[in-house]
Amino acid sequence: MAMRSRKRPRARQAPPALHELESEVMEQLWSSGEAPVRSVMEALNARTKADRAYTTYMTVMARLHDKGLLARRRDGKTDYYTPAYERDEYMALRAQAEVDELVAQYGDVALSHFAQQMASLDPARRRALQRLARQGR
């Protein structure tokens, strides 16, 4: 019998960036938790001058589900959506992906700009960020 090799856990792939309406939907779900399309629509339309159609929200939320950003649960004829990532987790994964992309594209120039930004910070904030960076290793 052949030995099975242990699979190392894969690094979690960065979730895709959000467009404007996707961001609004995600922010609503991060604050409210699980919700059907209609609840998200009503909450977001209450904040805008021009209402968006139910089908617009339905399409956006289905696409967010397809992208792996929302989990979907069906109860009868109603779909309930929940964020697949906590807000902080999503932000951390996106930030890492953006930094990785900048460094891959611009190399030392990007790193030089990051170093300049770090050098210009208040010393207490810089130390706090350095502690955070050490924890992420």
Q: C-alpha distances in angstroms, 119 versus 13, 59, 106, 125, 134?
A: 30, 45, 20, 11, 17
Rounded Cα distance, 13 and 93, in Å: 8
Rounded Cα distance, 44 and 53, in Å: 11
- Please check the confidence at residue 8 and state whether its pLDDT lies above 70: no
pLDDT tens sequence across 43-92: 999 999 999 999 999 999 999 999 999 999 999 999 999 999 999 999 99
Q: Within a 10 A sphere around the Cβ of 76, how many other Cβ atoms?
A: 5
- Please check the confidence at residue 96 and state whether its pLDDT lies above 60: yes
Rounded Cα distance, 114 and 120, in Å: 10
Beta bridge partners of 32: none
Output the six-digit token pair for 72. Answer: 């979907």
The residue count for the chain: 137
pLDDT tens sequence across 106-126: 999 988 988 899 889 999 998
Number of helices (H) and strands (E) in the chain: give both, helices first.
6, 3
Instruction: Return the amino acid letter for 115.
Output: A
